[in-house]
Structure 1
Amino acid sequence: MNQDLIPSSLADLYDTMVAGFTVQFENLAELVVTPGWRQYQLVIILGLWALAVVLKLTTQTRWDAWARARIGWPKWRLRTLIQLKQRLTLVYFVLISWALYTVMQQITWPSRSYIIGVVATLAAAWLAIALVARLVRNRTLRRIFKWAMWVYATLIALNLTDDVAGFLDGVAISIGDLHISALGILKAILLIGVLLTLARIGTRAAERGLQNNDDITPSMQVLLSKGIQVLLYGAVFLAAIRTLGFDLTGIALLSGAIGVGIGFGLQKVVSNLISGIIILMDRSIKPGDVISLGDTFGWINALGARYVSVVTRDGREYLIPNEDLITNQVVNWSHSDRFVRLDLEFGTSYDDDPHKVRATAKDTVKTVPRVLSGSGHEPVCHITGFGDSSVDYLLRFWISDPTKGLTNIRGNVYLALWDAFKDQGISIPFPQREVRLLSDDAAAQQVAKE
């Protein structure tokens, strides 16, 4: 390579890039103003766009009807179809412009279809970028990705990539052997964005595959999915460091010192992370279990790296740190099985036959929905004592769906007992107090006695 062509300073590099842009835009302007096939190509491009608009107007109804019939398609394919329908004019323009460009390259001079080829390339690039950008969920990142890729595609089509790359590579800082340039940063950002998108897609695909595998317990599914997520995102982090030019061996000592400092400051976070791993490994709780922790009663919605999501019957979602589930007493209503026994206390009058009361209570509770009455889960009713104004009983029964609530099933059983006791003539006593009004003489005698 001729050393005279290498810019000696950033100013020379900037001047070289500006000169390259100027030459390209002068060529483009010359193509537009010079009579002949160059202007004919612009007219052809406008005609192709008009034809694409006409095709969209005439075929959009048919495409809508065909799309509605794709009921069994996967969601990702339906989303892609919707994106194509929203850009139907651009799709038609890409197809007919490329078809015309290919034909003209074969039957006439290549220069007579140069502009058509450039525009067809840009249109195809814009369509592809718009479809691929849908993989980026964050709106801000999606817009940045779109504009960056559109600029890059435009530079490729206009053959300006070398000039721009040389300018960006010249904008750099050097610290010892470390050389960081604007071009390197842009390449790192692009690579990180692509790798993060692929990592997210891979993580979700792995989660779906694990969830569809019935041979793996829910706790192991969460543990494996978290492990895959850590591996993929860790690989992205290492790739980003290497892309920027950092030597991992050189920063090992510094990262160790920083890690010790962070460890002291993030003891709770690390404790929750370790507790989450222990919970997943010993399978003490899993998604769907019904637990009680203090005043919180609900079912586990999700197991996170730092907390467990517990949803109560009133719709509240509690984020309980994993450490609390390790150090505190937790009642897991569905640890080994989903059968839960409930106890109800009630009392009847001393005038009622206890044998009749017990039989009525057991027969009544069997009629309540959600109450089990099979082998090993038969309701029972016992006398627990003789109270001041009633004979006290304890009714025990089983349910298998605690996630549907406990208070509501208790209320339904109490209501069924009320109706059954009314029909059988069984009374439910309550404390009664007698108020006596004394005459004046009697009141005086009472005071004298005191």
Structure 2
Amino acid sequence: SGIVLLSERSIKPQDVIEVGETFGVVESLGLRYTSITTQEGKEFLIPNEKLMTDTVINWSFSNKRVRVHKELRIDYTSDLEEAINIVIDAAKATERVISWPQPVCLVKDFTDECIVLEVRFWIIDPENGTANVGSNILREVWKRFTENGMSVPLRRKELFIEPESALKVEISRPKRAQAATKTDTPQQLATDGDTDATDAPETD
């Protein structure tokens, strides 16, 4: 499989490829494994058989020009056209974003909470990463939004609390004294009264 990759040159050293969760630069191709180094400095040895059977994204097969998407949200109180212009200008001002094709900003969706925008821009050095340049654009957008009095929406959560059920109140009453029987003694009759009042003191 390594010979096939070398002969077809579909993957070659210094290519930027993505295989599953692995994204990095091809360092070398062997007969059994291909060495890929990620931005974190980790080196992965990918079996060539996996490269032959799995889907492989080669970010630099014919050229290194890559389009990147980044999503952001604005509040409904914001001026939509102004927000779009700010996002485009922020992308143009960000390092590594090329001038042609120019960055664009599209309206992607209207949700209950906000307007969803998507900025699309091009870079020519994917080996240096795509997430970091997207982060830089968002930072520039935030800075310009703040300068122009615009804000991003906050997520809202609504809580519905059901009223508690009525409490049941039970009133306990003292039990009535049982009727005297023939077997009751005078002492028992004296203690089986209707109330808890104490006996009056004996007097002379």
- Secondary structure of 2:46 counterpart: strand
Unaligned 5+ residue runs, structure 2?
167-204
The separation in 2 between residues aligned to 1:434 and 1:283, in whole angstroms, is: 56
Tell me, yes or no, if structure 1 residue 381 matches structure 2 residue 105: yes
CA-CA distance at 1:433 after TM superposition? 3.3
Q: Which residue of 1 aligns with 2:169?
A: none
Q: Which residue of 2 aligns with 1:420?
A: 144
TM-score (norm 1): 0.36
The separation in 1 between residues aligned to 2:8 and 2:127, in whole angstroms, is: 22
Tell me, yes or no, if structure 1 residue 306 matches structure 2 residue 39: no
Q: Which residue of 2 aligns with 1:398?
A: 122
The separation in 1 between residues aligned to 2:57 and 2:158, in whole angstroms, is: 45
What letter matches 1:277 in structure 2? I
Residues 401-439 of structure 1 deviation map (CA, whole Å, 9 limit, x = unaligned): 11111221121111111111111112100122356899x
Unaligned 5+ residue runs, structure 1?
1-274
- Secondary structure of 1:341 counterpart: strand
- Secondary structure of 1:310 counterpart: strand
What letter matches 2:110 in structure 1? F
Match of 1:341 among 64, 67, 72: 67
Percent of pairs with identical residues: 40
What letter matches 1:336 in structure 2? S
The separation in 2 between residues aligned to 1:332 and 1:433, in whole angstroms, is: 42
The separation in 1 between residues aligned to 2:161 and 2:56, in whole angstroms, is: 56
Tell me, yes or no, if structure 1 residue 327 matches structure 2 residue 27: no
The separation in 1 between residues aligned to 2:21 and 2:14, in whole angstroms, is: 19
The separation in 2 between residues aligned to 1:328 and 1:407, in whole angstroms, is: 24
What letter matches 2:150 in structure 1? I
- Secondary structure of 1:415 counterpart: helix
Q: Which residue of 2 aligns with 1:365?
A: 91
Name the CA shift for 1:436/1:319 in 2 (closer, same or farther; >3 Å): closer
The separation in 2 between residues aligned to 1:382 and 1:281, in whole angstroms, is: 42
Name the CA shift for 1:436/1:385 in 2 (closer, same or farther; >3 Å): closer
Q: Which residue of 2 aligns with 1:116?
A: none
- Secondary structure of 1:383 counterpart: strand
The separation in 2 between residues aligned to 1:418 and 1:313, in whole angstroms, is: 26
What letter matches 2:61 in structure 1? H
Matches within 5 A, 1:108-119: none
Q: Which residue of 1 aligns with 2:201?
A: none
- Secondary structure of 2:67 counterpart: strand
Residues 116-169 of structure 1 deviation map (CA, whole Å, 9 limit, x = unaligned): xxxxxxxxxxxxxxxxxxxxxxxxxxxxxxxxxxxxxxxxxxxxxxxxxxxxxx
Matches within 5 A, 1:11-410: 275-374=1-100, 377-410=101-134
Name the CA shift for 1:436/1:307 in 2 (closer, same or farther; >3 Å): closer
The separation in 2 between residues aligned to 1:436 and 1:302, in whole angstroms, is: 59
Name the CA shift for 1:330/1:437 in 2 (closer, same or farther; >3 Å): closer
The separation in 2 between residues aligned to 1:420 and 1:365, in whole angstroms, is: 11
Which ranges of 4 or more aligned residues in structure 1 deviate by more than 3 Å?
Answer: 433-438
Q: Which residue of 2 aligns with 1:93?
A: none
TM-score (norm 2): 0.76
CA-CA distance at 1:297 after TM superposition? 0.6
CA RMSD of aligned residues (A): 1.8
Name the CA shift for 1:294/1:434 in 2 (closer, same or farther; >3 Å): closer
The separation in 1 between residues aligned to 2:17 and 2:97, in whole angstroms, is: 20
Structure that is richer in strand per residue: 2
The separation in 1 between residues aligned to 2:155 and 2:104, in whole angstroms, is: 27
What letter matches 2:102 in structure 1? E
What letter matches 2:36 in structure 1? V
What letter matches 1:409 in structure 2? V
The separation in 2 between residues aligned to 1:307 and 1:434, in whole angstroms, is: 53
